[in-house]
Chain A
Amino acid sequence: MRKLLIRLCILAAFVLPLQMLAQPQLVAPLEQAMERAQSSAKAPLVSRSIMIQRPPLRSVKLSPDGQHIAYVLEQKKHRELWWMNLSNGLNQRVFSSTMISDIIWAKDNKTLFLLNRQGVSTVQIDKPSSARFLLNLDRDKQDHFFGVDNTQEAAFLFTRHSKQDNAHVVYRMSADGGTSEVMRKSFRIMDFLQDKNGTIAFYTRHRGSQFELWHRNDKSEQMLFTCADFDACEALSFDKGNNSLLVKMQRALPQSALYKFALDTGKWQLLHSDPKSFYSVNHIIIEPRTGNPVMAGYSDEHFSYYALDSKHAELLERINTKLKSPNVFIQPSDALDVWLLVDANPARVIPKYYVYSPSKDEFSRPLQKTLEQLAAQFPVMPDEYIASQIPVYYSVSDGMKQQGYVTLPKGYDPASVPLIVMPHGGPWNRVKGDYDARAQFMANRGYAVFQPNFRSSTGFGRQYVTSANKDFGKGRVHQDIIDGMQYILGQGIGNKKKLAIYGHSFGGFSVLGALAFEPQLFQVGIAGAAPVDLAKSVRNFKPDALDPRGIPRHQVFKHFAVDINDEADVQRLASQSPDAHWQQVNKPLYLTAGGQDDRVSILNIRDYALRLHRAGKKISLLEDPNEGHSFRQKLAIEAYFYVIEKALSDHVGGRVQADQSQNLQRYMKRKLVLDSNDLVVGS
């Protein structure tokens, strides 16, 4: 017995450390990153105007046949639409416009649909004069663009609400403007899947707090299954031969995965899930001939693809070997014979674009020359100055495992640098492993940046989202952020006497909460477009406002944050909101707000700021009446970054760019309505 016990102890001594290593806290990579950061040469101060420079190339799209690329080039005051013939390298401008947000290829490989705030336009790439409006989308009336109709040569699908008969109608519109009705229902269609004839065979509707997937044929309609909110369940393709449906949804596993659903038997088959058991599936690539999925992509720490067959496993291996990047997005042609690879390595500002031919195993970079020409015109931060961004995992005080990122400035001792906590907006959003200009800006100024994916963040499964349990303000979500920060401090990152917090939108709300609920912890807070009380913000929403998934925003907030029609619920949340605890703020606070913000009323922010000001607290408020929820104009963005830089420098001591352009000085003087922090001398 005694010997057995000793053996067991020895075994435990070996096993337990292994178990600890297996825990996904990844201490070792973080330590390595800390060492690397400290030993690197300090990056020189990069000017604000360069830091705010966005990649000039956007919306790069491969045509369905893989023979052309279309892309949007951002110029100073307008955008240009270009297309390139991959076979002969011909690269030409289609036209210039101030009105292109995104582009989508039609099936005919000649027509592009252009999305903008007004609606949908079209152009044929070889006929620039053919550019024309097709459709005005009135989002207040729940008009919604679904996407290209792949069963037609050049058509797209959109939905419109008809007030006369209270019907939601799905229409098909072709590039020549011809419109036909596809389906009419008394409820809003969230998503659908067409058969080869273009008829809608499956559709998703939202009812109550769940989604329902329905099957539709000539004779009848039948509900197949439901999925809960924040489940992102989506029908991807239908195999008529096997009568099975490929679905992306959350079932037995905590995260969304790829399943096959047999319509006949109602049985489910798991095809793929995240090997780390932490992330929801994001992008599925399907082989057109067989209808089988061949690759599954996950927005994990960065973006990862996993092959579902050996052939594609080999292809992925080749890609990874060639690109050596943790963040590659694959855009295949319809036949999967040409792939556009977008290498958005976070260690680089501007992504690289490769065209890959799997059959020939050939990589090319058709846009390289364009990017080189643009580099001179639109200088960005050099790659060697970019700070490393390390994903971290930790458990918060109630035991929930969470994830985040920490960015370490080059050439600094991580233990001594100020630490900036940067909660994301949303709150139903997440920080991803992409290049983040704000985090890099702060790292360049000598700060470590921690970006937590607190509970209510999306992409980690439904439980991750719903565990917030409406406990915003002085509640669980706030505690997650603090716990995460304590974990980072515990890893030897950041000087706990030099803590600051910055965020935008819900991140700004978190900033206000942090200063109110932890008055001694942070030295300064910077909040952009910050709601002071979520119920007040919800009341400000337009009645028909939809969230990115197409669900009425009011409804989402009602289920997951606050029901503004329930006075008791409003009072509950109000009592734990930063608005109710403003008197406790005793550290400097910097606020920015846009007059055209349709989500957070500038009046609420102003009222909050004025209260603090009247009470003698240190507050600065920058208002731009022409800007919305996020600043878009270059000067406004530069001012926004200046506020962050100056505020942090003044209160936690980092680097600051001394010179300001005359335009920036004028802008600050005009837009600063309160400034007891002396953001601008003499304001």
Chain B
Amino acid sequence: MLELFRCEFRRYALWSILVCVSAICLLFFLSKLKPLFEASTEQSALTSVIMFLGSFLFGFLQMFLHKRKNHWTFLIHRPLSPGRIYLSLMSAGAVCLVIALFVPWLTVTFIHDLFTGHVIDNRHYLYAFFALFTAFFAYLVGNLTAISSYKGSFTALIMLYLILDANPKTPFLQMLPIIILCAMFVYLNLVSFRVDLKKPLDNALPIVLITSVTSFAMIFLLLLSTTIFYHIPRFIAGNHPDNNPVAGSYHALWQFEQGEQAEYVLQNSDYGLKEQLVDQLELAEMEYLRIRPWNFMQPGQVYTRDVQYALEHNQTNSIWQFSHDSMLLEGREKLSSEPLGFLGKNGFVTKAEDIGEADRFTSVPFLVRDRFLVTSDAIYELNYEERSFLIKHQPGAGEYYVSGPQITDLFVYVVTNKQTYIFNRSVLLDEFQVAEAEYVIPHPASVYEIDFAKAYRMVDGYVMWYQGRFLNGYDQSGVHMTYARLDGQIEQIASREFTQYPHPPWIRHFDVMISPLLYLAQVQVYHFLEPEVKTSLYLPTSQVWRQMEKHGTSYVAIALNLISLFVAFILLRRQHNSLQVNISWYLMIGIIGLPALACLVLMTPWTWSSPLTFFRARHA
């Protein structure tokens, strides 16, 4: 094994070292252009594409080159079991990845930590491991794609999206999914690496594992397929709802101007001053409000998820960067990087030894503009010159901020889980004192179900307009209007639920319909990883199912499952699989449904021999 490992490693060693050196140079060059550990969408996207695509291609190429006829014969007939052969090759590949990806990142992080004043936490080192494991996973998927008879193996890459999209609460939860996936795919590669590569999997466990993972991709592909059999034909026929808004539907809102939208929403309302209100909204100044909760950062999360890098104050030439290790902001002079002290929950602290536990933040604050810190329970304002600190505003009992201060031309607003606070701009931005809101407006629905809001400026207050596709529940879109007056009066004007839909239910509920249990599993996994985050993805499943029952798509989902089982029965009959394998398939298709059937079709070797028998007999 060692000899094989060495041989394989030597094949790619030089390339790995070249990539390593290039990566180090590139990273140092980048660090001259901008702070290297400042999360940037472009930097993250480019890094991800290079790392994952590169690793996938490397994994695929490595195995593909071995699959050439004479090479394969030479390789597989070594006095080693196929599993061990694979382990040797994989280990060599892994070491190459370590050299090419892990070493540069670790080196740069270490040098920054030692020789610069930038705040480098354990999470920055953690990122190196995270990146390595995700790249390793992509490499393993590449291996599997090359050696497996399963044509859909590469779709497992979709798991990377799910991994990167989640916002796990702890570093452990950050790493856990990717480590599990890597272990799964090492196993899958081990069982797939055999003398006859064309032989499909014939064990239950690999079938279950690969089907579970790639079913997510199948859902995505099946969703895309609606473009072909639904959307494009309707566009061609000229009756697609996007171009022909359905009267009475939520989507029809977009075709109207400001006043017309109000008229549309108030159509069947019994509000007494309807016409006057419509006229008013036409004339009024309007601001869009983003009500959707921000993704508050988690302590120890990888730096690529950071929303802000630091607070920069030009007048004092200082940068204040939040350290997840110490849960404090650490200040340094911009040019000389001379330390300036710390900033905690109770204010500025000059020396490290004076820091007490009470000073440390309990959650990672948002840094807004150059002087606001926002946690879920307070907005702080900093005065750098005086080194003083003020609690600018706090939410009421039972409330927490879901976003920081957002600035518009007319006002500044902050959203909590229950209400929107609207402040006079100068009060919040210019005056260093506790801010009192001019308006406190309760949300008409859960803050997670409001897509966005609009504030129309009236003579004596604001008319607030809330709209969301799930405002009243799953697939129950609506608009709600509230009049908030300067003297504190809040008047509910109108609420409209849209019962007309542009698309049929089977298109609207497609992602749930084709695999309800997979939808549930996805929700549970996200809920496990980020328990405090509540989005429309986390609507109670019972609510989703009720809505599907109402529109009949629940029955379609059950029917699809049964049909998938029936088709699986027909297909599996033509194969000579073991009972274990067949039971596994029935189980997976029975649980997952149509996506699992798609996996079966892709996993089974097939050719067109005649229109009636498109499966050839499986090799014994």
* A residues lining the B interface (CB < 8 Å): 77-78, 95-99, 114, 118-119, 121, 123, 128-136, 177, 626, 633, 635, 662-663, 666, 669-670
A245 to chain B, nearest CB (A): 38
| B602 close to chain A: CB less than 8 A | no
Q: Is the CB of B486 within 8 A of A98?
A: yes
Q: Is the CB of B283 within 8 A of A97?
A: no
Q: Is the CB of B433 within 8 A of A663?
A: yes
Known: A118-B285, A131-B460, A133-B458. 17 other contacts (CB 8 A): A77-B438, A78-B486, A96-B486, A96-B487, A97-B461, A97-B486, A129-B273, A130-B276, A131-B459, A132-B459, A133-B280, A133-B283, A133-B459, A626-B430, A633-B430, A662-B432, A663-B432
Task: Give CA–CA (A586, B487) in the complex, Å.
Answer: 54
Q: Is the CB of B459 within 8 A of A666?
A: no
Within 8 A of A (CB), among B539-592: none
Task: Give CA–CA (A626, B386) in the complex, Å.
Answer: 23
Write 20 A-B pairs (CB below 8 A) sorted by A numbering: A77-B424, A77-B427, A95-B459, A95-B460, A96-B485, A97-B459, A97-B460, A99-B457, A99-B459, A121-B459, A130-B273, A132-B280, A132-B459, A133-B283, A134-B283, A177-B279, A626-B430, A663-B431, A666-B383, A666-B432
Q: Chain A residues with Cβ under 8 A from B459's Cβ?
A: 95, 97, 99, 114, 121, 123, 131-133
Q: Is the CB of A95 within 8 A of B487?
A: yes
Task: Give CA–CA (A608, B76) in the complex, Å.
Answer: 85
0 or 1 for each of B416-450: is its CB under 8 Å from A? (1 = yes): 00000000101100111100001000000000000
Query: A635's closest neighbor in chain B, by CB?
Result: B431
Within 8 A of A (CB), among B273-287: 273, 276, 279-280, 283-285
Query: A118's closest neighbor in chain B, by CB?
Result: B285
Task: Give CA–CA (A177, B273) in the complex, Å.
Answer: 14
Task: Give CA–CA (A177, B277) in the complex, Å.
Answer: 12
A162 to chain B, nearest CB (A): 19
Q: Chain B residues with Cβ under 8 A from A99's Cβ?
A: 457, 459
A541 to chain B, nearest CB (A): 23
| B165 close to chain A: CB less than 8 A | no
Q: Chain A residues with Cβ under 8 A from B427's Cβ?
A: 77
A101 to chain B, nearest CB (A): 12
Task: Give CA–CA (A132, B273) in the complex, Å.
Answer: 11
Q: Chain B residues with Cβ under 8 A from A128's Cβ?
A: 460
What 3 A-B pairs come out closest when comparing CB atoms? Answer: A96-B486, A95-B460, A133-B283
Query: A667's closest neighbor in chain B, by CB?
Result: B430
Within 8 A of A (CB), among B457-471: 457-461
Task: Give CA–CA (A405, B273) in the complex, Å.
Answer: 54
Task: Give CA–CA (A670, B276) in the complex, Å.
Answer: 45
Task: Give CA–CA (A136, B284) in the complex, Å.
Answer: 9
Query: B411's closest neighbor in chain A, by CB?
Result: A98
| B42 close to chain A: CB less than 8 A | no
Query: A127's closest neighbor in chain B, by CB?
Result: B273
Most buried by B among A98, A123, A134, A626: A98
Query: B430's closest neighbor in chain A, by CB?
Result: A626
Q: Is the CB of A133 within 8 A of B284?
A: yes
Q: Chain B residues with Cβ under 8 A from A96's Cβ?
A: 460, 485-487
Q: Chain A residues with Cβ under 8 A from B485's Cβ?
A: 95-96
Q: Chain B residues with Cβ under 8 A from A118's Cβ?
A: 285
Task: Give CA–CA (A393, B427) in the complex, Å.
Answer: 46
Task: Give CA–CA (A119, B457) in the complex, Å.
Answer: 13
Query: A131's closest neighbor in chain B, by CB?
Result: B459
Q: Is the CB of B426 within 8 A of A633?
A: yes
Q: Is the CB of B276 within 8 A of A132?
A: yes
Q: Chain A residues with Cβ under 8 A from B280's Cβ?
A: 132-133
A539 to chain B, nearest CB (A): 27
Task: Give CA–CA (A633, B431) in the complex, Å.
Answer: 11
Interface size for B (C-beta < 8 A) is: 27
Task: Give CA–CA (A98, B459) in the complex, Å.
Answer: 8
Task: Give CA–CA (A663, B385) in the complex, Å.
Answer: 13
Query: A95's closest neighbor in chain B, by CB?
Result: B460
Task: Give CA–CA (A98, B438) in the complex, Å.
Answer: 10
Q: Chain A residues with Cβ under 8 A from B424's Cβ?
A: 77
Task: Give CA–CA (A135, B280) in the complex, Å.
Answer: 10
Q: Chain B residues with Cβ under 8 A from A77's Cβ?
A: 424, 427, 438
Task: Give CA–CA (A633, B425) in the complex, Å.
Answer: 12
Task: Give CA–CA (A391, B383) in the complex, Å.
Answer: 48
0 or 1 for each of B205-238: is its CB under 8 Å from A? (1 = yes): 0000000000000000000000000000000000
Q: Chain A residues with Cβ under 8 A from B383's Cβ?
A: 666
Query: B272's closest neighbor in chain A, by CB?
Result: A129
From known contacts A97-B459, A131-B458, infer whether A669 and B385 are also in contact, taking CB-CB under 8 Å.
yes
Within 8 A of A (CB), among B335-393: 383, 385-386
Task: Give CA–CA (A467, B273) in the complex, Å.
Answer: 58
Within 8 A of A (CB), among B466-489: 485-487
B316 to chain A, nearest CB (A): 11
0 or 1 for each of B486-521: is its CB under 8 Å from A? (1 = yes): 110000000000000000000000000000000000
Task: Give CA–CA (A121, B430) in the complex, Å.
Answer: 30
Query: B488's closest neighbor in chain A, by CB?
Result: A96
From known contacts A98-B486, A121-B459, infer whether A136 and B430 are also in contact, taking CB-CB under 8 Å.
no
Task: Give CA–CA (A40, B276) in the complex, Å.
Answer: 60
Task: Give CA–CA (A77, B386) in the complex, Å.
Answer: 27
Task: Give CA–CA (A136, B286) in the complex, Å.
Answer: 13
Task: Give CA–CA (A80, B280) in the complex, Å.
Answer: 20
Most buried by A among B430, B460, B461: B460
Q: Chain A residues with Cβ under 8 A from B457's Cβ?
A: 99
A135 to chain B, nearest CB (A): 8
Task: Give CA–CA (A95, B385) in the complex, Å.
Answer: 41
Task: Give CA–CA (A666, B386) in the complex, Å.
Answer: 9
Within 8 A of A (CB), among B140-157: none
Q: Chain A residues with Cβ under 8 A from B431's Cβ?
A: 635, 663
A516 to chain B, nearest CB (A): 32
Q: Chain B residues with Cβ under 8 A from A131's Cβ?
A: 458-460
Task: Give CA–CA (A134, B458) in the complex, Å.
Answer: 11
Task: Give CA–CA (A236, B485) in the complex, Å.
Answer: 41
Task: Give CA–CA (A131, B279) in the complex, Å.
Answer: 12
A671 to chain B, nearest CB (A): 10
Task: Give CA–CA (A663, B381) in the complex, Å.
Answer: 14
Q: Chain A residues with Cβ under 8 A from B458's Cβ?
A: 131-133
Task: Give CA–CA (A114, B284) in the complex, Å.
Answer: 15
Q: Chain A residues with Cβ under 8 A from B385's Cβ?
A: 666, 669
Task: Give CA–CA (A662, B283) in the complex, Å.
Answer: 41
Query: B315's closest neighbor in chain A, by CB?
Result: A670
B262 to chain A, nearest CB (A): 13
Q: Which of A129, A133, A177, A635 contacts B430 (CB 8 A)?
A: A635
Query: A94's closest neighbor in chain B, by CB?
Result: B460
Q: Chain A residues with Cβ under 8 A from B487's Cβ?
A: 95-96
A56 to chain B, nearest CB (A): 17
Q: Chain A residues with Cβ under 8 A from B284's Cβ?
A: 133
B115 to chain A, nearest CB (A): 35
B408 to chain A, nearest CB (A): 15
B159 to chain A, nearest CB (A): 50
A116 to chain B, nearest CB (A): 8
Q: Chain B residues with Cβ under 8 A from A114's Cβ?
A: 459
Most buried by A among B273, B385, B486: B486
Task: Give CA–CA (A77, B461) in the complex, Å.
Answer: 13
Q: Is the CB of A132 within 8 A of B279?
A: yes
Task: Give CA–CA (A128, B430) in the complex, Å.
Answer: 33
Q: Chain A residues with Cβ under 8 A from B273's Cβ?
A: 129-130
B482 to chain A, nearest CB (A): 15
B270 to chain A, nearest CB (A): 15
Query: A671's closest neighbor in chain B, by CB?
Result: B430
Most buried by B among A118, A133, A635: A133
Q: Chain B residues with Cβ under 8 A from A130's Cβ?
A: 273, 276
Q: Chain B residues with Cβ under 8 A from A123's Cβ?
A: 459
Task: Give CA–CA (A49, B485) in the complex, Å.
Answer: 29
B222 to chain A, nearest CB (A): 51
Task: Give CA–CA (A123, B485) in the complex, Å.
Answer: 15
Task: Give CA–CA (A118, B457) in the complex, Å.
Answer: 11
Q: Chain B residues with Cβ under 8 A from A129's Cβ?
A: 273
